[in-house]
Structure 1
Amino acid sequence: MSRPRALVREAALVLEAAGVASPEHDAAELLAHVTGVPRARLPLLDAVEPEQAVRYDALVRRRAGREPLQHLTGTAFFRHVGLAVGPGVFVPRPETELLAGWAVDRVVERSSRPPDAVAQIRRPVVVDLCTGSGAIALSLADELPGRGVDAEVHAVELGEDAHAWATRNLAGTGVDLRLGDMDGSFPDLDGRVDVVVCNPPYIPLTEFEGVAAEARDHDPALALWSGDDGLDAMRVLERTAARLLAPGGWMGAEHADVQGDSAVAVFAATGRWTEVRDHRDLAGRPRFVTARLAR
Structure 2
Amino acid sequence: MPTVGTRLRETTRRLSEAGVASARHDAIVLIAHTLGLEPSYIRTAAARDDEWPPGADLDLLEARVTRRIDREPLQHITGKAYFRSIELQVGPGVFIPRPETEVVAGVAMAYAREALEMRGEVRVTDLCAGSGAIGIAVATEVPYAEVSMVEASEEALVYLRLNARFQPPEVRRRLRAVYADARNCLRQFDACADVVVTNPPYVPISAVPRDPEVALHDPPQALYGLGDDGLDVPRAILDEAQRLLRVGGVVVMEHGDDQGAALREYAESSEWWGDAHTLTDLTGRDRMLVATRVGV
SS of equivalent residue, structure 2 residue 195? strand
Percent sequence identity over aligned pairs: 39
Match of 1:26 in 2: 26
Number of residue-to-residue matches in the alignment: 283
Residues 276 and 291, structure 2, Cα contact 8 Å, conserved in 1: yes
- The whole-number CA distance in structure 2 between the counterparts of 1:188 and 1:293 is 18
Residues 257 and 285, structure 2, Cα contact 8 Å, conserved in 1: yes
TM-score (norm 2): 0.91
State whether structure 2 residue 63 is matched by structure 1 residue 58.
yes
Residues 253 and 288, structure 2, Cα contact 8 Å, conserved in 1: yes
CA distance 1:4–1:41, change in 2 (3 Å)? same
State whether structure 2 residue 106 is matched by structure 1 residue 106.
no
- The whole-number CA distance in structure 2 between the counterparts of 1:110 and 1:22 is 39
Match of 1:290 in 2: 290
Residues 191 and 247, structure 1, Cα contact 8 Å, conserved in 2: yes
SS of equivalent residue, structure 1 residue 201? coil
Residues 234 and 266, structure 1, Cα contact 8 Å, conserved in 2: no
- The whole-number CA distance in structure 2 between the counterparts of 1:100 and 1:34 is 32
State whether structure 2 residue 78 is matched by structure 1 residue 73.
yes
SS of equivalent residue, structure 2 residue 252? strand
The offset of 1:41, in angstroms, is 1.7
The offset of 1:151, in angstroms, is 2.2
- The whole-number CA distance in structure 1 between the counterparts of 2:187 and 2:212 is 37
- The AA in structure 1 aligned to 2:33 is H
User: What whole-Å deviation, never above 9, does each CA across 1:58-109 have from its counterpart, x for those lacking one?
Assistant: 2111101010000011100000000000111111111100111111111110
Could you say what the CA RMSD is over the residues aligned between the two structures, in angstroms?
A: 1.5
- The AA in structure 2 aligned to 1:125 is R
SS of equivalent residue, structure 1 residue 288? strand
State whether structure 2 residue 13 is matched by structure 1 residue 13.
yes
User: What whole-Å deviation, never above 9, does each CA across 1:166-223 have from its counterpart, x for those lacking one?
Assistant: 0100015121111111233531121121000000001100112x43211111111110
The offset of 1:43, in angstroms, is 3.5
Match of 1:155 in 2: 149
- The whole-number CA distance in structure 1 between the counterparts of 2:285 and 2:160 is 28
Residues 201 and 221, structure 2, Cα contact 8 Å, conserved in 1: yes
The offset of 1:50, in angstroms, is 5.0
- The whole-number CA distance in structure 2 between the counterparts of 1:262 and 1:4 is 51
Unpaired runs of at least 5, structure 2: none
State whether structure 2 residue 207 is matched by structure 1 residue 207.
yes
TM-score (norm 1): 0.91
Q: Which runs of 4 or more aligned residues in structure 1 lie more than 6 Å from their structure 2 counterparts after TM superposition? A: none
CA distance 1:261–1:57, change in 2 (3 Å)? same
